[in-house]
Amino acid sequence: MKTDLYTHPDYYSMDDLLSDEHKLIRDTARDWVKKEVSPIIDEHYEKATFPMHILSGLGEIGAFGPYIPEEYGGPGLDQISYGLIMQELERCDSGLRSTASVQSSLVMYPIYKYGSEEQKQKYLPKLATGEMIGCFGLTEPDYGSDPGNMVSNFKDKGDHYLLNGAKMWISNAPFADIAVVWAKNEEGRIHGLIVERGMEGFSTPEMHGKLSLRASATGELIFDNVKIPKENLLPGRSGLGAPLSCLDSARFGIAWGALGAAMDCYDQALRYSKERKQFNVPIGAFQLMQKKLAEMITEITKAQLLTLRLGQLRNEGKATSAQISMAKRNNVEIALNIAREARQMHGGMGITSEYSMMRHMANLESVVTYEGTHDIHLLITGMDVTGIPAFTREMPEKK
């Protein structure tokens, strides 16, 4: 069983900008990850299983809904604390962060922001401890980047709603107790509904054959005339902006998480460059190796500054969706590049499970796609700076 030797890089003394509480929260998450998850993550990745026994531990370190107020069972922390926890989780594995990110930003967040008081009291305390696990149903088989054209729908049947449709690529689906599902009513308006496991016609088949996020459970959500109690409709907001606001929160967490993966790859590459010898000297003595390390730490430092500032803006309620998109896109890109360079520096050893770069690399290929693809986030920035949307084009008429 390998030892987790991670030491986080801090080239610009970023810790000086964090409060003592921030550092305590981060270090608590780091220590827990090193003790409870790092020793077992490779085995679960290889077997494509999620370590279910760690769910309560994630709850204990505040990884589920860190910013949810204490009155609903959450720790009541700020957005930077949330980011730091996600950074430590993905530093270990993207699948670990995905599980916590979905629970926090895509399940607890919409219930807290748009749910009734009864819904908040019923679900949030159990979600905060990990006693209950949730998932988020937005993406459909034919509608990924274009969720507004979703097919899933529900009809008013008097004393209940009748839900039909399907969702795909849903993290946590195979073992989730509830799903926050987005579907259209009879007028075509998108609403959120809480679907509970055990409701007749609701199934969550697991998706197999993944070569990425293997330590995270992914499945489908299938609704075949599922009767939904009317009190399970989220009353606070409707329209596509509701699920997109949840994605803002999740993308914010991804920006921090991907940075954690980049930091882990750099830390291993730096250590290896000092230990591995070729031609009678450590490989870190060669110019090309120093170039790789210098570029890695430069990109990490830039991303740290970008992400911390975004956290400050989010704490103040000033962060825009476009700013979050920029950070998500940038940080995942630099993490992918750093993982690849770190893998090369390790030579053949870099493809083994003794080191985490290859696992990070494969995981990040999912992260660069989900919750807004790399190119979609580029277009979000483009639209923000030009004021001109480039997402859609009218199809030419056939002659």
Catalytic residues: 371
Count of other CB atoms within 10 angstroms of residue 394: 5
User: What is the distance between the alpha carbons of residues 179 and 169, in angstroms, rounded to a whole number?
Assistant: 13
- Beta bridge partners, 96, equal none
- Beta bridge partners, 221, equal 167
What token pair was written down for 94?
């993207």
Question: What is the number of residues in the chain?
Answer: 399
What token pair was written down for 398?
């056939």
Beta pairing class for 190-196 and 281-282:
unpaired
What token pair was written down for 305?
């500054």
Counting Cβ atoms within 10 Å, is residue 147 exposed (0-12), middle (13-18) or buried (19+)? middle
Count of other CB atoms within 10 angstroms of residue 131: 14
State which H helix or E strand residue 190 sits in: strand 190-196
User: What is the distance between the alpha carbons of residues 19 and 17, in angstroms, rounded to a whole number?
Assistant: 7
What token pair was written down for 78?
């700020």
User: What is the distance between the alpha carbons of residues 173 and 370, in angstroms, rounded to a whole number?
Assistant: 15
Pick from 286, 264, 290, 273: nearest CA to 358: 264
Alpha helices in the chain (DSSP H): 20-32, 41-47, 55-60, 79-92, 94-101, 109-114, 117-129, 241-275, 287-315, 321-345, 357-367, 374-386
**Which 3 state secondary structure label does DSSP give 218?**
strand
Pick from 300, 301, 328, 302: nearest CA to 314: 328
- Beta bridge partners, 233, equal 193
